[in-house]
Amino acid sequence: MEIKAFAKINLYLDVVGKRDDGYHDLVTVMQSVSLCDVITAEADDHINLTCSDESIPCDSRNIAWKCAAAFFDKTGLTGGVRLHIEKHIPSQAGLGGGSADGAAVLHALNRIYSAGLSVSELAVIGGTVGADIPFCVTGGCCLCTGTGEVYAELEDRRLYLCIAKGSGGISTAQAYGAVDALEECVHQSEKDVLEQYRENRLPLYNIFEKAAEGVKDVYLLKEHFSHLGVPSLMTGSGSAVFGVFESIQKAAKAAEKLRRMGFFAEPAETI
């Protein structure tokens, strides 16, 4: 079977604390978008994985592999799966590509093996592998707190985007280290963020932008979108930036120009 693994963007992202175990507490609004990888899955005796991107590990380090292993471990089912990932979501971008792949694998295995698990049960399995996977299993638009647990599902809003990224990336460890080094920040409450969203105001904010001020590609993309007169935001811990346009046609035109400038750029819309 073939299944799409949809990327996510963060419309709002704040780090509000650090736990004793080293994990960070977040408040974030995550939104699924149409940019996606494509996963091909079929039953097999063991877990086997291939990928169109040679830089992606195709063994137990891969999140899709880990999710497959977690599915069989938690359900007690015997068997395996042969997986192929056709990559379109760039890595080290803050777009949740690996988490999206893992979530898609969980959905695929649930169907292939007729396991009958609910979305919430799949999300629990995904949560044992990575913090963003429960959201990617659920999809749509959600306010998430803690390390990424879904706190409240929000009404989807139709947005037309140009998602762009330079050649460089930002490691998650590097990004969180930079945030930890920031001086005292003022944080909004979950209630305030929800109120903004429900009043049809996009709460566009990402604390990681402060930590990425020295990243040239992020600066250039933000500046480019500003010249076009559209709001923009870096997503996740970076380094992809999205601009919000009035139509998919205008987003596509912007993406075409950015590709000519040497950036990865794709039009997308919320789903």
Contact 266, 163 (CB under 8 A): yes
Give me the active site residues, please: 8, 132
Q: Which amino acid is at 24?
A: H
Dump the DSSP string for 172-232. Answer: HHHHHHHHHTSPP-----HHHHHHHHHTT----EETHHHHTTT-HHHHHHHHHHHHTT--E
Residue 198, C-beta contacts closer than 8 angstroms, at least 6 positions apart: 154, 155
Return d(Cα 59, Cα 205) in angstroms, integer. Answer: 36
Return d(Cα 267, Cα 271) in angstroms, integer. Answer: 13
Return d(Cα 24, Cα 148) in angstroms, integer. Answer: 10
